[in-house]
Amino acid sequence: SLANLQRELNNEAGEQRALRAAEEAFSRRIRDKPHDRQARILLAGAQYRLGKHKASEQTLLTGLKLHNDDDMRRASSDFYLVQLRSMKSSRADRIPEKLDLLEKAIALDLKNPEVYSEIISFYEQARGSDYAKDIVKQLEAMIVDGQSPALAHFALSSIYLIEQDAAKAKLHLEQS
């Protein structure tokens, strides 16, 4: 996109102009065709890059009300993962906020492999806390419920490797 080209050229003003133009164009497109999910996803991306995170989230949530399908669920899940990744702080007081974002991403798209990567990262950061134990319980419940069991087994395998429990790690890796 033009915004990406401007960013590569280190032209922040040009990037912002391109993003504002994209936001306006996709907003018009959605006004004309409210069920255009691709325009809605692209609008949310432009809004996010403009720093309009609440507007981006609302655009996606409205899209979910119109189209509760795989594309909208993945885009919405990815939105929460991007927010989670943007929280560079590893302070313990941010862990509940990170867990909230992670749980939103999980609830929206259990088949999103990026969710499981973030679960493992979250576990490493929260290791030893009740939050880490809760994540393990969620993964176990996902397996019991048959919700994306291969990915959940793989995440548990990684977690048990972190904990140096080779037997449990092997068991879950074989199930993934």
pLDDT one-digit tens code per residue, 92-143 = 678 889 999 999 999 999 999 999 999 999 999 899 999 999 999 999 998 9
Stretch 22-48: mean pLDDT, rounded?
95
Q: What pLDDT is stored for residue 147 in this prediction?
A: 80
Q: What pLDDT is stored for residue 10 in this prediction?
A: 59
Q: What pLDDT is stored for residue 8 in this prediction?
A: 56
Q: What pLDDT is stored for residue 89 in this prediction?
A: 64
Q: Which residue has the tokens 């164009």?
A: 25
State the pTM of this model.
Answer: 0.84
Q: What pLDDT is stored for residue 151 in this prediction?
A: 92
